[in-house]
Amino acid sequence: MKYHKYAYYAYAAGLIDADGTIGIYRNNKNQKTGGGCILKVSIQQADRRAIDFLAGFFGGRAMQRKDEDAWCWYRYGPKALELLKKIEPFLRIKRDQARLAIRFELYRQRAERYTLCSGSPIGNFSDEARIKLMWFHDQMRELKQPQRPSLYHPQRLSETTLEYERSDSLTLSE
Could you tell me the CATH number of the domain that includes residue 94? 3.10.28.10
Tens of pLDDT, residues 64-122 = 888 778 999 999 999 999 999 999 999 999 999 999 999 999 999 888 888 767 666 65
Please give the Cα distance from 161 to 166 (Å, whole number). Answer: 9
**pLDDT value at position 16?**
95
- Other beta carbons within 10 Å of 60: 19
Q: Write out the residue range of the structural domain in which residue 51 sits.
A: 5-166
**pLDDT value at position 152?**
53
Cα maximum dimension of the chain = 76
What pTM was estimated for this model as a whole? Answer: 0.77
**Is 99 inside a domain boundary?**
yes
User: Phi and psi of 36, rounded to 5°?
Assistant: 90, 10
Please give the Cα distance from 53 to 46 (Å, whole number). Answer: 14
- Better-scored residue on pLDDT, 115 or 130: 130
Please give the Cα distance from 73 to 142 (Å, whole number). Answer: 24
The stretch 44-50 carries a mean pLDDT of 90
**Is 172 inside a domain boundary?**
no
Please give the Cα distance from 76 to 33 (Å, whole number). Answer: 10
**Is 148 inside a domain boundary?**
yes
Specify the number of domains making up the chain: 1
**Is 95 inside a domain boundary?**
yes
**Is 173 inside a domain boundary?**
no
Please give the Cα distance from 62 to 51 (Å, whole number). Answer: 6
Asked whether 80 and 41 are in contact (CB, 8 A), the reply is yes
**Is 174 inside a domain boundary?**
no
**pLDDT value at position 168?**
47
